[in-house]
Amino acid sequence: MKSIKVLFYVFVVFALFTLTACFSSRVPEPSQTSEATVAPLATEKAEPANKEKKVVVGFTLQNLSNPFFVAMSKGATAGAMLHGVDVITVSAEGDLAKQTAQIKDFIERKVNVILLNAVDSRGIAGAVSQARAAGIPVIAVDVDADGGVNTVVTSDNYLAGKLAGEYIVKRLDGKGYVVVIDGPPVSAVTDRIAGFEEAIKAAPGIRVVTKINGHGNREISASMMETILQTYKKGGIDAVFATNDPSGVGAKIAAEQAGRDKEMFIVGVDGAPDAVKALKEKNSFVATSAQYPFEMIKLAMDEGFKVLKGEKIESLIKIPVDLITQDNVETYKGW
């Protein structure tokens, strides 16, 4: 009987040991990495670990009817490709309200840099201030802008007007009647006028008979020149200074249509393709102070990226201009 009890006791102990071993094998120890590995839920979008948001540049310019601004837009595209960024280019079509709205849109889109070719240097101040308050650098291009821009990248417009004025004085031998075709209320135009006026001060015999605003537009300038030609008869106009080439070419067309292009000569500013063509004709359009819009906008973009990197930049950057005449036009590379 004792032997039976002993055998039964041994059997029970063995059974308990076997059950414990089996239970323990089904509960593994937690690994050290199990808490660090978290798979995204099926509804979550997994993002690449090191993906950076692409830099976006917003560029608003006066219009795209002027070849100068078309060249600037192409320069912006080239600059964006060079830097590996995106650029949004929009035309304000000469409308301050529209350009203000475009800048506000750039702010809402959270662009990284704004390049501004202002329709109205003073009128755009409020929009510029809003962009700066949002932490977006604003680089003024071609013309200055109030409101606290980081810098202005522009041609030496004072020199452009001065070179044109000196050429007119020399060609007229210090005496004659001049028509001035003014433009939009922007710093580039006012600087050209100031440079021109400084140049003719040295020649008391030069008289400005009238100044009109051609709005930088060929058709408007041509129409206004037609009226001027009716007012000032033969001998009443010796030269025309136009603050940009479209205005100068418009004046040329009006003078030719009136059969009076041999009575006067015309000097513009820009170095635009139409001006180059007119210079090569060797008729009434005789000179233009050439600027370089393609290079200007790319330099402006460079300055914007310097600001993003925290680098210091100059408050004003002037690009030299060159006087192109019928004599040296063949060596001018153009836009």
For residue 303, the domain's CATH number is: 3.40.50.2300
Query: Residue 15 has what pLDDT?
Result: 38
Domain count, the chain: 2
Beta carbons within 10 angstroms of residue 80's beta carbon: 20
Query: Residue 2 has what pLDDT?
Result: 37
Query: Residue 35 has what pLDDT?
Result: 30
Query: Residue 53 has what pLDDT?
Result: 82
- How buried is 4 (Cβ within 10 angstroms: 0-12 exposed, 13-18 middle, 19+ buried)? exposed
Instruction: Assign 69 to helix, strand or coil.
Output: helix
Instruction: Report the C-alpha gap between 88 and 10 in whole angstroms.
Output: 87
Outline where the chain has alpha helix (H). Answer: 2-25, 67-83, 96-109, 125-133, 157-171, 187-200, 218-231, 245-257, 273-281, 293-308
Domain assignment present for residue 199? The answer is yes
Query: Could you tell me the residue range of the domain that residue 201 belongs to?
Result: 157-291+326-331
Do 182 and 239 share a domain, yes or no?
yes
On whether the CB atoms of residues 158 and 191 are closer than 8 A, the answer is yes
Instruction: Report the C-alpha gap between 66 and 64 in whole angstroms.
Output: 5
Do 271 and 205 share a domain, yes or no?
yes
Pick the closest to residue 225 from 248, 202, 195, 197 (CA basis).
248
Instruction: Report the C-alpha gap between 116 and 91 in whole angstroms.
Output: 11
Do 221 and 278 share a domain, yes or no?
yes
User: What does residue 191 show for φ and ψ, rounded to 5 degrees?
Assistant: -70, -40
CA angle 57, 58, 62 (to 5 degrees): 140
Residues 6+ apart with CB under 8 A from 135: none
Give Cα separations from 335 to 275, 291, 308 (angstroms). 11, 9, 29
Instruction: Report the C-alpha gap between 265 and 177 in whole angstroms.
Output: 11
What parts of the chain have a pLDDT lower than 70?
1-52
Domain assignment present for residue 5? The answer is no
Query: Residue 178 has what pLDDT?
Result: 98
Do 177 and 286 share a domain, yes or no?
yes
Do 187 and 280 share a domain, yes or no?
yes
| 238's tokens | 């010796």
Beta carbons within 10 angstroms of residue 67's beta carbon: 18
Instruction: Report the C-alpha gap between 176 and 206 in whole angstroms.
Output: 5
